[in-house]
Structures are given as C-alpha cells and as structure tokens.
Amino acid sequence: MSEVIKNRYEFTVLFEVKNGNPNGDPDAGNMPRIDPETGYGIVTDVCLKRKIRNYIETVKEDCTGYRIYIKDGVPLERSDREAFTYLGVSDEKEAQSRKEEIDVKIRDFMCKNFFDIRTFGAVMTTFVKAKLNCGQVRGPVQIGFARSVDRVVQQEIAITRVVATTEKDAAKKETEMGRKYIIPYALYRVDGYISSNLAKKTTGFSEDDLELFWNAVINMFEHEHSAARGNMAVRDLIVFKHDSEFGNCPAYKLFETVSVSRKDESNPPRSFNDYIVTIEEKAIPAGVELIRKI
C-alpha cells in the first residue's frame, strides 16, 4: 500500500436524477426526501456512502485491505470479533483488562482490513461496550447531505400489474394497482472534506485509497441502476488540493467559488445541459490547486 496522504482536500460533487427517486424517506411512505420549508431535495450522506461502499465491494471483491465493514447481511459484531481473534482475546472482559495493550492494535487492525473504516471511520459497538477507546474511529473523509440546486417536484405515479397476488385475489380481479414516486429531474450538490491529519494520526488513509475513492465517487451510481431510482449519474467532481497538511484557507471560501445556475429560468430544468457550472478561479488562493476529475 502507498504512503498516507499528505495534503488536505475539499471537493464538490454534482449528480443528477431523471424520473427516479434518489433517496426515499421511510417516514414519508418512501417519497423522495425534501426540505419541507423550502422544497429543495435532499439526499443523505448515509445514502451516498452506501453507493461508494457498494462500488468498492464490487471492484475489489473483498480482497485484503479493501473489505467493507458496513455490509449487507454481515453483523458488525462478527467483523469486530475478527480483531479479538487476531490478538488472541476471548471476550470483552479480557479486552477491558488488556485495554492499554490492545487498544491501538485493534484500531489499526480494523483500519488496515476495512476500506470504509479507513475512509469514513466507524462506531464499533463491540469495542465501545468493552470500554475501549478504539470503539469510535473518526475517518478522514467526511460528506454532508446533498441538496438540489433548485426546488424539486415530487410526482406520484400510478402503476398497474397484469396479474393478481393470490388465488383469492385472482377470483375477484385480473390486475393490481400500485404507486411509485419520482422526481422528473433534479441536479444535486454535495460538498466533502478530506483531512490528511486524521489520515496520519488515525486510519492510514493512503494515496492509493484516495484514487480509489475518487473513482468510487465518479462511478457510485453505475452499478446501482434500478427502476425505482431512474437514471442517476455523477456529472461533475471538483477537487481542491491544498499543498499542506492543514490547508491554506477555510473550506467555505473554496466551496463559494463554485456556483451552479440555470440557463433559462422560465423553463423547468430537465437535463444537466440546462445548467451552467462556474468556478471563480481567481478567488482560489495560492497553495490550492483546482482539479476537475470529470
């Protein structure tokens, strides 16, 4: 594995949805998430990180150093106990008694083996219960909620099926009715942060990990297509690379250099080409490099 990253980064991702539900809200009948006060669409950080994890799992196929900790069908405790086995610890009680000896070793084992812990960090309940400091790992990569550039319109679409569900239903009717929710079109923006200081001190997030992460962001929807989500794609990845570990300016100043506007305010947007992405490069301070990944 390559050396740990030495530069701080900020990044902005623009992604779109066409005739789909990018992130359903289980508290609202799985309707697309919106800010109820403004009408802007929302996609949670949890949703986006799930896509990134799935991409890593797809391309790396659980190879050494690139396993996924938060994985469908695998209890977290099972993965936690691999660290106990590696260090010859039988249970939480023994772990607590050997706390000073094994705390850092457990953290290093989990970070070395699981890409998502090395990247995003994790809360590992087994170790928390054992009162080990390694139970909570703060990752160097942090992503916020995505927000749509414009207000979104939620549409409820009635659908039919030509076959009944049960024999009893078949005696009464020939078809079934259902509903699905879509957003005709929306462009979302999400900002993120990468701390080389946390990578150095805690997880060991490396230059190779960083390149893999960029690829995962760019392709996070490419292996996640479904009828429910419609057409989703990452359309732009704008990266700000500082020439130092702690950075050369506040993150918000860099994010403010990126603006997205509509070409025609009189018509609702229906494609990425309806927008203009502008970066005020003169406002980017010395010591920060602008990189367009797409």
Distance of CA 179 to the CA centre of its chain: 28
Q: How far is CA 232 from CA 46, 184, 205, 222, 240, in A?
A: 17, 12, 28, 8, 24
Q: What is the pLDDT of residues 209-258, one digit of tens each?
A: 999 999 999 999 999 999 889 999 999 999 999 999 999 999 999 999 99
Q: What is the pLDDT of residues 63-118, one digit of tens each?
A: 999 999 999 989 988 998 888 888 887 777 777 778 777 888 999 999 999 999 99
Confidence of residue 173 (pLDDT cuts 50, 70, 90): confident
Question: Domains of the chain: which residue ranges?
Answer: 1-44+145-155+182-294, 64-137
171 CB-near residues (< 8 Å, 6+ apart): none
Confidence of residue 176 (pLDDT cuts 50, 70, 90): confident
The answer to whether residue 149 scores a pLDDT higher than 70 is: yes
77 CB-near residues (< 8 Å, 6+ apart): 125, 126
Q: How far is Cα 153 from Cα 41, in angstroms, rounded to an integer?
A: 9
Q: What is the pLDDT of residues 17-54, one digit of tens each?
A: 999 999 999 999 999 999 999 999 999 999 999 999 99
- Beta-bridged to residue 179, according to DSSP, are 158
Confidence of residue 171 (pLDDT cuts 50, 70, 90): confident
What is the sign, positive or negative, of the torsion defined by CA atoms of 197, 52, 186, 158?
negative
